[in-house]
Amino acid sequence: MSQIDSKIPEGPLAEKWTNYKAHQKLVNPANKRKLDIIVVGTGLAGASAAASLGEMGFHVINFCIQDSPRRAHSIAAQGGINAAKNYQNDGDAVYRLFYDTIKGGDYRAREANVYRLAEVSAAIIDQCVAQGVPFAREYGGMLANRSFGGVQVSRTFYAKGQTGQQLLLGAYSSLMKEVNNGTVELHTRTEIEDIVVIDGRCRGVIAKNLVTGKLERYSAHAVCLATGGYGNTYFLSTNAMGCNCTAAIQAYRKGAYFANPCFVQIHPTCIPVHGDKQSKLTLMSESLRNDGRIWVPKKLEDAQKLQRGEIKGRDIPEEDRDYYLERRYPAFGNLVPRDVASRAAKERTDAGYGVNNTGLAVFLDFSEAFERLGRQRVDERYGNLFDMYQEITDVDPHDNPMMIFPAIHYTMGGLWVDYELETSITGLFALGECNFSDHGANRLGASALMQGLSDGYFVIPYTMQNYLADQIQVPRFSTDLPEFEEAEKAVQAEIDRIYNIKGDESVDSIHKKLYHIMWDYVGMARNAEGLKKALSMLKDLRKEFDEHVRIPGAKEGLNVELDKAIHLRDFITMGELIAYDALERNESCGGHFREESQTEEGEAKRDDENYMYVACWKYAGSDEKAPELLKENLDYQYIKVQVRNYKK
Amino acid sequence: MDTNISFTLKVWRQNGPKEKGHFDTFEMKDIPGDTSFLEMLDILNEQLIEDNKEPFVFDHDCREGICGMCSLYVNGHPHGPAQGATTCQLYMRRFKDGDVITVEPWRSAAFPVIKDCMVDRSAFDKIIAAGGYTSVRTGQAQDANAILIPKENADEAMDCATCIGCGACVAACKNGSAMLFVSSKVSQLALLPQGRPEAARRAKAMVAKMEELGFGNCTNTRACEAECPKNESIANIARLNREFIKAKLAD
C-alpha cells in the first residue's frame, strides 16, 4: 500500500489526461485577474508557465536570479527536444515515446505522468515553430530530425547545437509579450530565500534583492517553483555557476517531500577535468554520438603512452582500438543511454585504459564520419561544437579524436509532485527539473526540454486553474501578516548568522571539499560503506562551514560571496539527502549504481521486488536529523517491466 | 602542452552607479594557459578573500558562451581579443608572459554600472518587450509542418537568432547604438512566415523603444559586427532599415 496519493485520474492510460481536462474546474476571466500566482525561475518551465498563465489572465509575479530572464540555464541545452511527431515515418508514436521514456528511466517513473508528457510533446513543437523558433529544416522545407541515445527512431528536433537557447528565447519572447501586456510582473536579480505558508497553504515568498541586499515579501494565491536541479551540489558540473537548490531545499524544510534525490545524471560526453583551478565543466552534446565513435586502446601499453603524452590518439591503428560501447551493446552501440555510457567509460578507465594525463578520459572520434560523409557535412552538423572544443582544449577534432569524460549534468530527483504538479505543501507547485516526475532513474537525451515546456505550456495552465477554482473568494494577502513577518525574521537571522561567522575559509574552498566527498563516495559508483562515510564527512563539513566560512565585504548591498554561502549551506543539506537516499536504495537502477547490486558482467542489477517505489524524504525539523522516508509505490499497469537491455 | 604565465592585471572597481571608479592593479603569478579568463578571475578572488578583501564583481553564469551573462572589456575589446567568442570562452593561452591586461565594464549610457564590472542591461529586455515576439497564444498553433520554410530562410533566421543579448555591440559602438541587437531579432522574425504579419509593427515599436532608452544612432562603423561574439552580420541592420522604411511608408 502506497503511503502517498499521487492523484492519478481514473480511466485507461491514453484517456487520463483528456478526462482530467474535461472534468477539471475552471476560473472565469473576471476572477482570473483577481488571483495572483508567483512563478520562481525563467527557464523553459518557468518562462513558459509565467507566459501562459499571464496570457490566460492571471496576475503573475515572476522572479529570476540573473540580470534577464533569457539567461536561465535552459539556454545551454545543446542537442534537441523530443516529440512523437513521426515526421520521419520511422514508426514513432505517442506510446513509443512513452515506452522509451519509462524504459530509459529504468522503470522508476510514474506511467500516467510520462504518458501525458509523450501526449503533449507534439504540441510543443507546433507552439515553438509558431513563436519563430528556427528549427533545422530539410531542403523541402520540412522540419529535420536526428536520433538520440536510448531510442531507435529519429524524433529529436534541433536548432544547430543551440536548441535550448532557441526554445528558451521563444519562451522568453512570449514572457516579455506578457510583461508588455501587464499580466506578468518581472523581478530580475532576485533570489527566493523562503516560502510562506498560511493556514496550510503556500501563500508567498521571502525574496532577496541581490543588488540592494534587502529582503522583500511577495504574497500570492499559489506559488510555482521552477528553479532547476541540484547538480551544483557537486561543485564541478555542467550546470551554470548560479544554479542552486536553495528555494527547493527551503521548501523541503517547510514540509515539501524531496523525491529520489539519489537519481543524478552523469553525462558521458563532457570535456575532462584539467586541473584544480577549474570552476565549471563543459558539456559536449550527446548528438555527437550520432556520428562519433567512442573508444580506448586495446593495449594497456598504448594507453600508458597516451597518458605520458608520447603518442596521440590518431597514432593508434584501427585494429588496436576498442570501441567498447559497440562491443558491449551491439544493438544501440554508441547511442546507449547516458548512464550506461558513463559507467562503461568508468569501467575502462578504472582498468587503466584512460587516454589523457590524468587517465580519466576516453576518445570520441569522428574520423569514420569524415570519411563517410565528408568534412563539410559533418561540420554542418557539429561545427560549432568542434570550435568550442578546440577553443577550450587547443586540439582540433579534425586532426585528433576528442577526449571526453562523464560529469554531473542533470538531476532526475527533485521536489515530489502529484499528477497536478503540486508538492506535498498545498498551493506549492514544482515544474521542470525542479520536480522529480517524469524521468525515473535516468533521463533520456533531449527529454529535459520536452518536460520543462510540457509542464509550463501544457500542464500547469490546466492544473493551476483546477487548484484556484475554489480560491476565487479569497482576497489578496497582505504581506504584513504575522506569517510573513516571522518568515522574513528567520531568513534575516540566518543571513546574520552566516555573515557573522567571520572564519578563515572561502565559500569555494569549502564547496570544493563538498565536491570531493560527493564525487568520490556519492558519484558514479556507490556502496554502503562509502555512503556511510560520506554522511559522516558531510556532518563534519557542515560544522566546518558553520565555524569557518568567511564572507568579506558589507552585509548590506550586493554581496556575491554572501549569496554563494547561502547556496552552499543548502548544497550540504542536499548532499546529505542524496547520500541518505543512495544508501537506502540498495539496488542499481538508472543513474544510481550500487556496487553491491550488479550482474556478473558488471551490468546494473535492479531490484523490483524491494525498490519499485518513489522514495520521498520528509524533513525531520532540523538539518542535523536524518530525514524520514515515505514511499509512493509504482504500479505498472500498461508496461511490462523488463530488464533494461541495450545489447540486442 | 600549455605553459604558465605571469602578468599584471588592472581591474575596474566602482561601488555603485553614481560612485567614482578606479583601477586596482594585481600581479598574477603562474597562471596555467588552459585556465579560462573567468577562472583566472576566480583565482584572483580567492586570493582577495584570503586577504579579507572584497572580491571583484563581474557577471557570469553558464561559462559556455551561450547565456550572454558575461561581459568585460578586455584590453579595449568587448569579450577580449578572441574573435567570435565570449569572455568565458577566452583562455589564458591567448596572453603572453609579462602582459598588462586591463579589464573594464561595458561603457554605455544605457548600461549603468551596478558594481565593479557588473552592469544593468535591462534596457535590452524592454526592447524585446516592445515587440520582439510573435503574438501566438499557448496551445493554439497549427501543425509545425503546415507551413513549409525553405532551408535557406530557416538557416538565415537561425543565424540571426544566435544573438545572445550580451551587449557587446553597444559597448563596441562609439555611438552606443543597439542596432545590431535590435536588427538581429527583427531579421529572425522577418525571415520566417510566422513573423511576417507583425513585421511592420515590430520594427517600429522596437526602434522607438531603443531610441527612448537612450541608445545612440548607427553610423555604419561596423565596430559591432567586428566584436560580436556570435558573428552577427550588419546585413541585419540593412534589413531592419528596409523593414522600418516599409512600415513608415505604409503609415
Q: What is the CA radius of gyration of chain A?
A: 24
* Nearest neighbour of B138 by CB, restricted to A55, A70, A73: A55
Which of B39, B121, B192 is facing A134, going by the closest CB pair?
Answer: B192
pLDDT range class, residue B86, cuts 50, 70, 90:
very high
pLDDT in tens, B90-148: 999 999 999 999 999 998 999 999 999 999 999 999 999 999 999 999 999 999 999 99
| Residues of chain A positioned with their CB less than 8 A from the CB of B167 | none
Q: Do the beta carbons of residue B56 and residue B47 sit within 8 Å?
A: no
Of the partner residues B42, B142, B161, the one whose CB lies closest to the CB of residue A166: B161
Triad A281, B67, B26: Cα angle to 5°: 70
Q: State the Cα–Cα distance between residues B199 and B187, nearest whole angstrom.
A: 9
Chain B residues inside the 8 Å CB shell of A228:
none
Which residues on chain A are in Cβ contact (under 8 Å) with B34?
Answer: 274-275, 392-394
Selected for mutation to probe chain A from B1, B45, B138, B164 (highest A CB count within 10 Å) is B138
Please tell me if residue B19 touches chain A, with a CB cutoff of 8 Å: no
- A residues 458..517 contacting B (CB < 8 A): 458, 461, 506, 508-509
- Residue-number span of the structural domain to which B45 is assigned: 4-104
Cell numbers at A60, concatenated: 503573475
Same-domain check for residues B133 and B188: yes
> Å from A137 to nearest chain B CA?
5
The dihedral over CA atoms of A198, A202, A204, A206, expressed in degrees to the nearest 10, equals 90
Query: Which positions 375-434 of A are in contact with B (Cβ < 8 Å)?
Result: 387-388, 391-394
Residues of B in contact with A52 (CB under 8 A): 138-139
Query: Are B57 and B168 in the same domain?
Result: no
pLDDT in tens, B175-194: 999 999 999 999 999 999 99
Domain stop point among B104, B130, B159: B104
Residues of A catalogued as catalytic: 338
In a domain, B70, yes or no: yes
Of the residues B78, B104, B130, the one at which a domain ends: B104
Contact B62 A75 (CB under 8 A): yes
C-alpha gyration radius of chain B:
20
Please report the pLDDT score of residue A644 as a whole number.
81
Is there a single domain that holds both residue B157 and residue B239? yes
Q: Looking at the complex, report in whole angstroms how far the Cα of residue B245 sits from the nearest Cα belonging to chain A.
A: 23
Mutation for testing the A interface, residue in B29, B57, B60, B67 having most A CBs under 10 Å: B67
Rounded Cα distance, A533 and B75, in Å: 49
Minimum mean pLDDT range among A322-331, A638-647, B78-87, B210-219: A638-647
Q: Which of A140, A242, A392 sits opposite B61 (nearest CB)?
A: A242
A502 three-class SS? coil
Q: Is A70 in contact with B125 (Cβ distance < 8 A)? A: yes
Domains of chain A: 27-82+162-263+412-618 (3.50.50.60), 267-409 (3.90.700.10)
Residue B125 and residue B96 in one domain: no
C-alpha–C-alpha distance, residues A448 and A229, integer Å: 11
CB contact under 8 A, B69 and A391: no
- Residue A607 near chain B (CB below 8 Å): no
C-alpha–C-alpha distance, residues B242 and B250, integer Å? 12
Contacts of A362 (CB under 8 A, 6+ apart): A294, A295, A296, A345, A348, A349, A353, A354, A355, A403, A404, A405
- Looking at residue A645, what is its pLDDT? 78
Is residue B182 located within the same domain as residue B227? yes
B193 within some domain = yes
Asked if residue B1 has pLDDT above 60, the reply is no
Give the residue from chain A lying closest to B60, CA to CA.
Answer: A241
Classify residue B116: in a domain, yes or no.
no
As a whole number of angstroms, the distance between CA A20 and CA A25 comes to 10
Cβ distance A87 to B63 less than 8 Å, yes or no, reads no
Under DSSP, is residue A466 helix (H, G, I), strand (E, B) or coil? helix
- CA–CA separation, A385 vs A368, rounded Å? 18
Q: Does residue B239 sit in the same domain as residue B141?
A: yes
Q: Over the range A20-57, which residues count as b (16 or more CB within 10 Å of their CB) and which as e?
A: beeeeeebeeebbebbbbbbbbbbbbbbbbbbbbbbbb
Beta-carbon contacts of residue A471 (< 8 Å; ≥ 6 apart): A35, A221, A222
CA torsion sign, A319 to A320 to A321 to A326? positive
Which of A48, A126, A134 is opposite residue B188, by nearest beta carbon?
A: A134
Q: Are both B239 and B161 inside the same structural domain?
A: yes
Please identify among residues 183-242 of chain A the ones whose CB lies closer than 8 Å to any CB of chain B.
186, 188, 211, 240-242
Q: For residues B96 and B138, state if they share a domain.
A: no
Establish if B109 belongs to a structural domain.
no
Position B251 pLDDT exceeds 90: no
What pLDDT is stored for residue A602 in this prediction?
A: 86
Residue B163 is assigned to a structural domain of this protein: yes
Q: Are residues B32 and B134 in the same domain?
A: no
Quick one: B178 and B72 in the same domain?
no
Q: Nearest residue on chain A to B139, judged by CA atoms?
A: A127
B187, B181 contact by CB (below 8 A):
no
DSSP A237-276: SSS-TT---HHHHHHHHTT--EE-TT-EEEEEEEPPP--T
Where a domain ends, among B45, B72, B104? B104
Residue B100 lies in a domain: yes
CATH classification at residue B126: 1.10.1060.10
Residue A10 CB partners (closer than 8 Å, separation 6+):
A16, A19
| Angle, helix A94-104 to helix A111-131, in steps of 10 degrees | 120
Overall number of domains in chain B = 2
Q: Is the CB of A125 inside 8 Å of chain B's CB atoms?
A: yes
- Look-up: residue for cell 497564444? B137
CA A198 to centroid of chain Cα atoms: 30
Reported as a single tens digit per residue, the pLDDT across B32-75 is 999 999 999 999 999 999 999 999 999 999 999 999 999 999 99
Substitution target from B15, B133, B212 for chain A, most A beta carbons within 10 A: B133
Within 8 A of A283 by CB-CB distance, chain B residues are 64
Q: Are residues B99 and B128 in the same domain?
A: no
**A595–chain B nearest CA distance, Å:** 33
Chain A residues inside the 8 Å CB shell of B212: none
Q: List all residues of chain B from 161 to 220 with a beta carbon under 8 Å from chain A.
A: 161-162, 164-165, 188-189, 192, 194-195
pLDDT at B2: 65
From the list A48, A132, A550, the residue facing B189 with the nearest CB is: A132
* Local mean pLDDT, 10-residue blocks, chain A (648 residues): 86 97 96 97 98 98 98 94 97 97 96 98 98 97 90 92 96 98 98 98 98 98 98 96 98 98 96 87 88 96 96 96 96 90 94 94 96 93 87 92 96 98 98 97 95 98 97 96 98 98 97 97 96 98 98 95 98 98 97 95 93 98 97 95 82
Closest partner residue to B91 among A68, A125, A391, by Cβ?
A: A391
B82 within domain boundaries: yes
- Name chain A contacts of B135, Cβ cutoff 8 Å: 177
**Residue of B62, B116, B127, B202 to mutate, testing the A interface (most A Cβ within 10 Å of its Cβ):** B62
Give pLDDT, residue A46.
98
Residue B113 in domain: no
The CATH number assigned to the domain holding B82 equals 3.10.20.30
Same domain, B125 and B78: no
